[in-house]
């Protein structure tokens, strides 16, 4: 079932497995669309359950149909730990997705794990994005002047956080930086870097992928309360924001 609101569409499915199947189809369709239009597909991944929900992409028919050679991968947020640490979003994505498809190694942009402080890791990640803009690998949005990704895949926590932009933390109000940091994330581990809202909201397409009954209250507040103060309510896309919900997450709508 779908309902449209402005440049937002809300898709509700019976089960998490139905969400996973629809998500794979949606990502593959956008991959084809962007590669036809511009010759490349810049994708931003989150941590959490998202990577598992992307599982059908690594299977037939998508594994064979998608032109992985044109993909580039970035991270919406990352924990400041070594890339082979169990808490690393890069490791999560590598184990569950990237190791199973053939995206060129040079198109995968994890954080620099030699930077041991969140400040220096965020500064380094932003600088590397500025270099990609200078090389015309990443375009800038004509509207915001921030880098414009083709597709961001975003999860949400039960407290309404997205990326590592939490309620009651100042990072959600950042207006200038592309990448910022947090030393005291309420969701462990505490040191993280994260894209900021002006960067997130410059994306052409955003998929909010939210499943499970523990998300029902946050989903209700973000989607049904026009005065919601949760970070999830601040997400918008320059093109279309598509919500993928299972029955449990949508149960209070």
Ligand X SMILES: O=C(O)[C@H](O)[C@@H](O)[C@H](O)[C@H](O)COP(=O)(O)O
To the nearest whole angstrom, how small is the minimum distance from the Cβ of residue 152 to ligand X? 11
In whole angstroms, give the CA distance from residue 220 to residue 228. 9
- Tell which phi-psi region holds residue 191, choosing left (phi > 0), alpha (psi between -120 and 50) or beta: beta
In terms of DSSP H, where are the helices of 39-117?
A: 50-53, 62-65, 89-96
To the nearest whole angstrom, how small is the minimum distance from the Cβ of residue 134 to ligand X? 27
In whole angstroms, give the CA distance from residue 203 to residue 119. 24
Nearer to ligand X, 136 or 168 (CB): 168
Nearer to ligand X, 77 or 126 (CB): 77
**C-beta of residue 190 within 8 angstroms of C-beta of residue 183:** yes
- Is the Cα dihedral 221, 224, 226, 231 positive or negative? positive
CA dihedral of residues 92, 93, 95, 99 (deg, nearest 10): -160
User: Where does this chain bind ligand X (CB under 6 A)?
Assistant: 46-50, 76-77, 89, 155-157, 162-163, 187
To the nearest whole angstrom, how small is the minimum distance from the Cβ of residue 182 to ligand X? 11
To the nearest whole angstrom, how small is the minimum distance from the Cβ of residue 136 to ligand X? 28
To the nearest whole angstrom, how small is the minimum distance from the Cβ of residue 36 to ligand X? 29
Nearer to ligand X, 32 or 186 (CB): 186
Taking alpha carbons only, the member of 171, 211, 175 closest to residue 187 is 171
Nearer to ligand X, 187 or 220 (CB): 187
Q: Report the residue number whose CB is nearest to ligand X.
A: 48
Nearer to ligand X, 37 or 184 (CB): 184
């Amino acid at each position: 079932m779908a309902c449209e609101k402005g440049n937002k569409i809300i898709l509700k499915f019976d089960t998490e497995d139905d969400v996973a199947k629809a998500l794979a189809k949606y990502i593959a369709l956008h991959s084809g669309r962007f590669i036809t239009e511009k010759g490349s597909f810049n994708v931003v991944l989150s941590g959490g359950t998202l990577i598992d929900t992307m599982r059908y992409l690594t299977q037939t028919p998508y594994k064979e149909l998608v032109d992985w050679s044109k993909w580039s991968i970035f991270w919406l947020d990352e924990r400041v730990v070594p890339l082979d640490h169990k808490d690393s979003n890069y490791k999560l994505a590598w184990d569950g997705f990237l190791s199973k498809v053939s995206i060129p190694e040079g198109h995968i942009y994890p954080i620099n794990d030699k930077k041991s402080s969140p400040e220096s890791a965020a500064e380094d990640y932003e600088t590397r994005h500025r270099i990609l803009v200078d090389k015309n690998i990443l375009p800038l949005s004509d509207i915001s002047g921030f880098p414009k990704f083709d597709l961001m895949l975003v999860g949400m926590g039960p407290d309404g956080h997205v990326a590592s932009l939490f309620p009651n933390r100042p990072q959600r109000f950042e207006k200038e930086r592309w990448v910022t940091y947090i030393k005291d994330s309420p969701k462990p581990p505490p040191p993280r870097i994260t894209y900021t809202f002006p960067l997130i909201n410059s994306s052409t397409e955003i998929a909010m992928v939210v499943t499970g009954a523990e998300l029902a209250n946050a989903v209700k507040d973000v989607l049904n309360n026009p005065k919601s103060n949760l970070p999830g309510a601040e997400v918008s896309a320059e093109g279309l924001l598509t919500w993928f919900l299972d029955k449990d997450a949508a149960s209070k709508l």
